[in-house]
A and B are shown apart, each in its own frame.
Chain A
Amino acid sequence: MAEIEGEKLAQITWDGRVLEVDDGGNLLTGALEAGIFVPHLCFHPALTTPAQCRLCAIEVREDDGESWRLTTACDARARQGMVVRTESETVRQARAAALQFQLARHPLECPSCDKTGECELQEFSFAYGGEAPYVLPEKSTAEVRDLGDHVAIDPGKCIHCTRCVRFCKEVTGTEELSMFDRGDRLEVATFPGSRLDNRLSGNTVDLCPAGALIDKRFRLQPAWRLRGVDSICPGCSTGCNIRVDVADEQVRRLKPRVNMDVNDYWMCDDGRHGWHYIHSPERLARPLVQGEERDLPGSGDVVASWEEACSALHAAFTECRSQGQQIGVILGGQMTNEEAYLLISLAQAWDSEWISLRDSVATEGDITFPNTGFTIRGDKAANGRGIQDVAAGLGENLRPLDQLLDAIQREVVGAAFVVGGGPGVRPGDAELRALGALGDRLAVLDIMQDELAALARVVLPGCSFAEKMGTMTNVDGRTQHLRMAVEPAPGCLSDIEVLKRVAASFEAPAAALGEAEAIFAELGRRVDASNAFSGLTYDQLPDSGTMARPATQAYGGGWSSLLQRRGFLPVEDHNKQPPIAGHRLADSD
């Protein structure tokens, strides 16, 4: 373990192993950092330690050098020369007792529980519980009730770890939840008249180590059916590290991954639930070339082949240029750096001087939780900074969108290639009005069948963030991997492939580019040394070495690695992935 600057280390002995941990630091954190897994339920590295679950039991040798005292690691402080053991009968029994007490009244509804397969109580009971835990015939039978828009509680499954209560106090500062009553009547509830409606409420479900807190939109989908793909949330320019959970080639939910430099352990509810459009029947699924009757949205669409669509686009844009008008290009804020590189290269092939990025700023602005600094950005263009950097690297200055719209009105621009995207980066009314004036010379690369597609002559179906490979650069200049979690929707190609086919119809050089990784390398080669992407390749987007403390990594891998060891979670899926990306460009200087 690397010495952390400015901190004193203490040498402790843990089951015969000598560890170096922060002197005076939390002993459980120290052990986890050193790669020793200690089971725990109420402890969470981002929260205070109430030492309530008693599961992280350890024995510490007393000063007499002979006797041992049973205590909990989470509220013990590391000190030089400390001797700890966990491989003792006393600790084994204490762990089993801690779990036994939790299980006595627990309604063992594991086969019908939303948490099954990723339940810490379940997993620890197998790993550390007694051989035949005693279960009372009388179960907790309280009914499931709503806590807020996204979260419900099954009180009978609550193990009273208070992680959710502490989260709402210490992280969001909103304090909707508290413990009420005492003894075996103790329960988690909202204060009278209050609802769990803070913008980070979904994290309480992630924090819940049992099945008490329920994601109301994720029911009865056992964890072992899910395949997790590490990616980036496209919801705003924070770029939260997420895992896209997939089953049957459908996205089922998003979960935050730990990255202390970006999102800590959290993601917001907007991002967490902002993916449902991916499997919407309103998705564009075929290239369309719209005919005369396109006044009625959707009607009169002519389903075209990719070749027909590209040639219609080619014809319209060639006509525009032959009349001395320019082609405008509007990029969407959820495009990857690679897609932006392709499209801007293509615009250069069209000799376009009118390249713009749609501003997508929410009126509410940034929402920051002061306790932790976690911010939901008002800037919904998740890759706005990356697109700016790519454009700069290619020698282009992106024009403000209103200037481009004005140029359309002035008929300087006579055609446009417009990229839409997911919710949050949709075109506004002004843009739609201006684009409407282009008539047959509007081509759109988009996801949803809505007003924008209805306006266009040529509609190219695009991919959502979950169907793409590429990179995005967040507001702090950190370039991170977006990974394909599901295949492009039926009828769709990857956006890179679509843009290359368009480029091919113009015989533009961009058509010869390879896949995302090759495009990124090309970008890195092509830009000059002052550019953020200079010299970068995927290999250089480092492993999660940017994470603030190794503890978080150990913790993040905590029970899931345990599940993997026990064969509950596929190990190979994660190992095949390139390492978690997080290259902070600003660090290079």
Chain B
Amino acid sequence: MLLKDIDIPDIDGVEAYLNHGGYQGAAKALAMAPRELVAEVEASGLRGRGGGWEPVAHKWRRLPQPATTRYLCVNAYDADPGLFRDRKLIERIPHRVLEGVIIAARAVDAHVAYLCVRGELASPATVINRAVSEAYAANWLGRDIAGSGFDLDVFVHPGGGAHIAAEETALLQGLGGGRPEPARGPSSHTLFGEPALVHNVGTLAYLPGILCAGAAEFRAVGTHSYPGTCVFCVSGHVRRPGLYELALGGVTLRQLVDEFAGGVLDGRALKAVIVGGTLSTVLQPQQLDVDLDPQKWAIPGAGPIDGAFGNGAVIVLDDTTCIVDTAIQMMRFYAGESCGQCAPCREGSSWILHLLQRLEEGAADADEVVLIESVARQLGPRLRPEQSTSLCGFGSAFAWTVQDLFNAFRAEFEAHATAGGCPWRDQKQPGFRVPDSVNVRF
């Protein structure tokens, strides 16, 4: 549904897009009353693909009434570790994203939309800028779109580079000219003092298809509560890393890793799979026979937890990976990307990183291994999301990942302490790596 057509030659141009049925969903949406449009999307059961899985129509209905102005903001950050879906959608088929923007804007009666592209994503920004120009020229943006009487202006905004700038409220803060930091409270979901709606690229790009083919067609795949597909971003030690669009609940994680992604690289053995981007779940080889269904998604040893499924990032680690090294790579990212405003996340991320590095270097003893887990638990116990101490989910996210790694690989952490450093120091492969954060002072 989402990746359909992306291999058509020149589909990134408006001409090819229109030749392949492009903007027909928008045309339908513009011909409908907003109320009918919301009802149609509600009937489809479409949920947000940013990791929260909130029904899109709920989000629309939740916007405060009445408002003179509303803004639609599109999150095109692809910020989570292991996530590379939205940039591909934009690069390959930008007009489908814009069409989704028009449909959502029509539904909530927004006349200005901001496309917030992560500052580092130069190529997608170039493509989407060109697509916006083409759409204006073809009157699919601007005044009186396609004679419908509906006006919509789209601005492409290169956002601050921090991962945390992609958090919904931080994105709005940054767009409004402030520091991109998560906010809480009544004004946190506003932009320039007006209500603002934030959607992921990967959510909006479903809308044209839903409008064209109808809600029922969308519901034909996926589960009752979670209809449609999910694009999984498989990376790490697999033969065929890449994007895989699969029906929700249709396959198991083992099928995704072994069949679709070709199994572990070089025939080595699997060590762990990290699923879900920021809201990660760490799974061991024997735990992969789980359906890729957010509703049934369970934390090993705990059972289903709302929202734990995350956003479709799947990172595969083989048996040459040092888990402590992996934890360091992840924590380097989190410590670098924390906005720093709340103490648990600011101090906790760098503290855990510091302790892990001592462990890797052989400077830490068994007490410090206990301390790492204890620091993580102070940010929020893994199984009690309602007891998180950080301001936004970012702090508990890395704390949960660390606790997951401990639950699955405690012996390996302890071995580092007793062996006076990494026992595989001389033979190991690089673990999961994320790009070093770009240090932008904002």
Q: Which residues of A contact B (CB under 8 A)?
A: 49-54, 57, 62, 67-70, 75, 77, 90, 93-94, 97-98, 100-102, 104-105, 134, 136, 138, 159-160, 162, 178-186
With a cutoff of 8 Å between Cβ atoms, the chain B residues found around residue A160 in the complex are 340-341, 343, 346
Q: Considering the chains assembled together, what is the distance between the CA atoms of A182 and B162 in angstroms?
A: 9
Q: How far is the CB of B178 from chain A (nearest CB, A)?
A: 10
Q: Considering the chains assembled together, what is the distance between the CA atoms of A463 and B335 in angstroms?
A: 58
* Given A101-B347, A180-B441: A75 and B185 interface contact (C-beta under 8 Å): yes
Q: Considering the chains assembled together, what is the distance between the CA atoms of A97 and B336 in angstroms?
A: 21
Q: Are A182 and B185 in contact (CB under 8 A)?
A: no
Q: Are B387 and A159 in contact (CB under 8 A)?
A: no
* Given A54-B343, A160-B346: A90 and B378 interface contact (C-beta under 8 Å): no
Q: How far is the CB of A121 from chain B (nearest CB, A)?
A: 11
Closest to A91 in B: B387
| CB-CB nearest 10 A-B residue pairs | A186-B340, A97-B378, A184-B350, A101-B347, A101-B343, A183-B338, A69-B386, A70-B387, A182-B340, A75-B184
Cross-chain contact of B387 among A75, A94, A102 (Cβ < 8 A): A94
Q: Are A51 and B185 in contact (CB under 8 A)?
A: yes
Q: How far is the CB of A65 from chain B (nearest CB, A)?
A: 15
Q: Considering the chains assembled together, what is the distance between the CA atoms of A159 and B349 in angstroms?
A: 15
With a cutoff of 8 Å between Cβ atoms, the chain B residues found around residue A68 in the complex are 386
With a cutoff of 8 Å between Cβ atoms, the chain A residues found around residue B389 in the complex are 54, 57, 70, 94, 97-98
The digit string for B97-125, where 1 denotes a CB below 8 A from any CB of A, is 00000000000000000000000000000
Q: How far is the CB of B437 from chain A (nearest CB, A)?
A: 9
Closest to B186 in A: A77
Which residues between 343 and 382 of chain B lie within 8 Å of chain A, taking CB atoms? Answer: 343-344, 346-351, 354, 371, 378-379
Closest to A106 in B: B347
Q: Considering the chains assembled together, what is the distance between the CA atoms of A184 and B354 in angstroms?
A: 12
Q: Are B387 and A183 in contact (CB under 8 A)?
A: no
Closest to B347 in A: A101
Q: Considering the chains assembled together, what is the distance between the CA atoms of A469 and B347 in angstroms?
A: 50
Q: Are B343 and A102 in contact (CB under 8 A)?
A: yes
B278 within 8 A of A: no
Q: Are A54 and B391 in contact (CB under 8 A)?
A: yes
Q: Considering the chains assembled together, what is the distance between the CA atoms of A57 and B390 in angstroms?
A: 10
Cross-chain contact of B390 among A54, A102, A138, A183 (Cβ < 8 A): A54
With a cutoff of 8 Å between Cβ atoms, the chain B residues found around residue A75 in the complex are 184-185
Q: Are B387 and A100 in contact (CB under 8 A)?
A: no
* Given A68-B386, A70-B386, A183-B337: A53 and B350 interface contact (C-beta under 8 Å): no
Q: How far is the CB of B375 from chain A (nearest CB, A)?
A: 8
Interface size on B, residues (CB 8 A): 36
With a cutoff of 8 Å between Cβ atoms, the chain B residues found around residue A101 in the complex are 343-344, 346-348, 351, 378
Q: Considering the chains assembled together, what is the distance between the CA atoms of A50 and B344 in angstroms?
A: 14
Closest to B341 in A: A52
With a cutoff of 8 Å between Cβ atoms, the chain A residues found around residue B354 in the complex are 136, 138
Q: Considering the chains assembled together, what is the distance between the CA atoms of A62 and B354 in angstroms?
A: 37
* Given A57-B389, A70-B387, A94-B387: A183 and B344 interface contact (C-beta under 8 Å): no
Closest to A178 in B: B179
B183 within 8 A of A: yes
With a cutoff of 8 Å between Cβ atoms, the chain B residues found around residue A50 in the complex are 183, 341
* Given A67-B386, A93-B378, A104-B351: A98 and B343 interface contact (C-beta under 8 Å): yes
* Given A101-B347, A104-B347: A182 and B442 interface contact (C-beta under 8 Å): yes
* Interface core residue of A54, A98, A102 (most chain B CB under 10 Å): A54
Q: Considering the chains assembled together, what is the distance between the CA atoms of A28 and B350 in angstroms?
A: 30
* Given A70-B386, A75-B185, A97-B378: A183 and B343 interface contact (C-beta under 8 Å): no
With a cutoff of 8 Å between Cβ atoms, the chain A residues found around residue B196 in the complex are none
Cross-chain contact of B347 among A62, A162, A179, A184 (Cβ < 8 A): A184
* Given A160-B343, A160-B346: A97 and B386 interface contact (C-beta under 8 Å): no
B248 within 8 A of A: no
Q: How far is the CB of B117 from chain A (nearest CB, A)?
A: 20
Q: Are A51 and B343 in contact (CB under 8 A)?
A: no
Q: How far is the CB of B349 from chain A (nearest CB, A)?
A: 7
With a cutoff of 8 Å between Cβ atoms, the chain A residues found around residue B371 in the complex are 134
B388 within 8 A of A: yes
Closest to B350 in A: A184
A70-B386, A97-B344, A182-B338 known, 12 other contacts, Cβ within 8 Å:
A49-B185, A50-B341, A52-B342, A101-B378, A102-B343, A160-B343, A179-B179, A179-B340, A180-B441, A183-B340, A183-B350, A184-B347
Q: Considering the chains assembled together, what is the distance between the CA atoms of A479 and B434 in angstroms?
A: 66
A–B Cβ pairs within 8 angstroms, 30 of them: A49-B185, A52-B342, A52-B343, A53-B343, A54-B342, A54-B390, A57-B389, A69-B386, A90-B387, A94-B389, A97-B344, A97-B378, A97-B389, A98-B343, A100-B378, A101-B344, A101-B346, A101-B348, A104-B347, A105-B351, A181-B340, A181-B439, A182-B164, A182-B442, A183-B336, A183-B346, A184-B335, A184-B338, A184-B346, A184-B347
With a cutoff of 8 Å between Cβ atoms, the chain B residues found around residue A98 in the complex are 343-344, 389
Q: Considering the chains assembled together, what is the distance between the CA atoms of A138 and B162 in angstroms?
A: 26
B339 within 8 A of A: yes
Q: How far is the CB of A127 from chain B (nearest CB, A)?
A: 17
Q: Considering the chains assembled together, what is the distance between the CA atoms of A236 and B374 in angstroms?
A: 55
* Interface core residue of A67, A68, A185 (most chain B CB under 10 Å): A185
Q: Are B379 and A97 in contact (CB under 8 A)?
A: yes
Which residues between 20 and 71 of chain B lie within 8 Å of chain A, taking CB atoms? Answer: none
With a cutoff of 8 Å between Cβ atoms, the chain B residues found around residue A183 in the complex are 335-340, 346, 349-350
Q: Considering the chains assembled together, what is the distance between the CA atoms of A271 and B183 in angstroms?
A: 36
Q: How far is the CB of A93 from chain B (nearest CB, A)?
A: 7
Q: Considering the chains assembled together, what is the distance between the CA atoms of A102 and B340 in angstroms?
A: 12
With a cutoff of 8 Å between Cβ atoms, the chain A residues found around residue B350 in the complex are 183-184
Q: Considering the chains assembled together, what is the distance between the CA atoms of A54 and B179 in angstroms?
A: 19
The digit string for B317-338, where 1 denotes a CB below 8 A from any CB of A, is 0000000000000000001111
Q: How far is the CB of A68 from chain B (nearest CB, A)?
A: 7
Q: Are B349 and A184 in contact (CB under 8 A)?
A: yes
With a cutoff of 8 Å between Cβ atoms, the chain A residues found around residue B339 in the complex are 182-183, 186
Q: How far is the CB of B222 from chain A (nearest CB, A)?
A: 29
With a cutoff of 8 Å between Cβ atoms, the chain B residues found around residue A181 in the complex are 340, 439, 441
Q: Are A185 and B343 in contact (CB under 8 A)?
A: no
Which residues between 369 and 424 of chain B lie within 8 Å of chain A, taking CB atoms? Answer: 371, 378-379, 386-391
Q: Considering the chains assembled together, what is the distance between the CA atoms of A180 and B160 in angstroms?
A: 13
Closest to B371 in A: A134
Q: How far is the CB of B365 from chain A (nearest CB, A)?
A: 13
Which residues between 418 and 442 of chain B lie within 8 Å of chain A, taking CB atoms? Answer: 439, 441-442
With a cutoff of 8 Å between Cβ atoms, the chain A residues found around residue B338 in the complex are 182-184
Q: Considering the chains assembled together, what is the distance between the CA atoms of A93 and B377 in angstroms?
A: 10
Q: Considering the chains assembled together, what is the distance between the CA atoms of A537 and B102 in angstroms?
A: 73
With a cutoff of 8 Å between Cβ atoms, the chain B residues found around residue A94 in the complex are 387, 389
* Interface core residue of B338, B343, B344 (most chain A CB under 10 Å): B343
With a cutoff of 8 Å between Cβ atoms, the chain A residues found around residue B341 in the complex are 50, 52, 160, 162, 179, 186
With a cutoff of 8 Å between Cβ atoms, the chain A residues found around residue B164 in the complex are 182
Q: How far is the CB of B313 from chain A (nearest CB, A)?
A: 22
With a cutoff of 8 Å between Cβ atoms, the chain A residues found around residue B378 in the complex are 93, 97, 100-101
With a cutoff of 8 Å between Cβ atoms, the chain B residues found around residue A54 in the complex are 342-344, 389-391
Closest to B183 in A: A50
Q: Considering the chains assembled together, what is the distance between the CA atoms of A443 and B103 in angstroms?
A: 87
Q: Considering the chains assembled together, what is the distance between the CA atoms of A182 and B378 in angstroms?
A: 21
Q: Considering the chains assembled together, what is the distance between the CA atoms of A93 and B162 in angstroms?
A: 30
With a cutoff of 8 Å between Cβ atoms, the chain B residues found around residue A69 in the complex are 386
Q: How far is the CB of B432 from chain A (nearest CB, A)?
A: 20
Q: How far is the CB of A59 from chain B (nearest CB, A)?
A: 9
Q: Considering the chains assembled together, what is the distance between the CA atoms of A102 and B389 in angstroms?
A: 13
With a cutoff of 8 Å between Cβ atoms, the chain B residues found around residue A184 in the complex are 335, 338, 340, 346-347, 349-350
